[in-house]
Amino acid sequence: MHDELKKNIAALLAETGKAHHKAFQATDGADPDWPIWYAEYLQEPLGKLLQTSFSKSQIVYCLMNADLERDALARESKWHEFYAGHFMEHFAPADTPAKDKLALYHFEGCPYCTRARTAIDRLGVEVELRDIFADSNHRDDLVQAQGRATVPVLRISSPNGEERWMPESADIVRYLEATYG
């Protein structure tokens, strides 16, 4: 189900890219505010695919993060596939949540991490806490996966071997509530 969904999101993004290029033919596609244009185009169909309602700002934010991450980690990848993966990480429902293993990359004094840890406690979800300052291996794993050490990040390991790295405290809380609430 996840593969199919990711393919559909990638196809939608490719279509959006083409439509944007057409709209900005005069500048050969150059548009410093492209995420805003994309968000307008994507809001409805992306919401349908991911069965959620998006604000345009959420889409803009996710697109910009995907762009930064691709620059840092995967310049060779196809942009629409990489971005689709990013939207999946943040917004796709879990396949078999009960069997997923969860780990939170965090550190003690970080207020955004407290937000995630509070939700974990409130919902009673089993999550391994990986403090990036207490163990440098955790920090290294995080940087390797995300290209930066910003926390919190929730790592979701599914029984089928799929790994998702979900940054953003608000997305983590929403995901935990939707999946385990």
Ligand X SMILES: N[C@@H](CCC(=O)N[C@@H](CS)C(=O)NCC(=O)O)C(=O)O
| Site for ligand X contains 150 (CB under 6 A) | yes
CA distances from 44 to 4, 40, 91, 95, 163 (A): 19, 8, 15, 23, 27
When the beta carbons of 37 and 112 are compared against ligand X, the nearer one is 112
For residues 56 and 62, what is the distance between their CA atoms, to the nearest angstrom? 10
Out of 148, 158, 165, 179, the residue judged to bind ligand X by CB under 6 A: 148
| Site for ligand X contains 104 (CB under 6 A) | no
CA distances from 80 to 58, 90, 127 (A): 17, 15, 31
Out of 11, 14, 74, 149, the residue judged to bind ligand X by CB under 6 A: 149
For residues 67 and 107, what is the distance between their CA atoms, to the nearest angstrom? 26
| Site for ligand X contains 151 (CB under 6 A) | yes
When the beta carbons of 11 and 149 are compared against ligand X, the nearer one is 149
CB of 170 vs ligand X, minimal distance in Å: 6
| Site for ligand X contains 114 (CB under 6 A) | no
Ranges assigned E (strand) in the chain: 101-106, 128-131, 153-157, 163-167
When the beta carbons of 136 and 160 are compared against ligand X, the nearer one is 136
| Site for ligand X contains 111 (CB under 6 A) | yes
Angle at 173 between CA 74 and CA 41, to 5 degrees: 55
| Site for ligand X contains 110 (CB under 6 A) | yes
Q: Which residues here bind ligand X, judged by CB under 6 A? A: 110-112, 148-152, 168-170
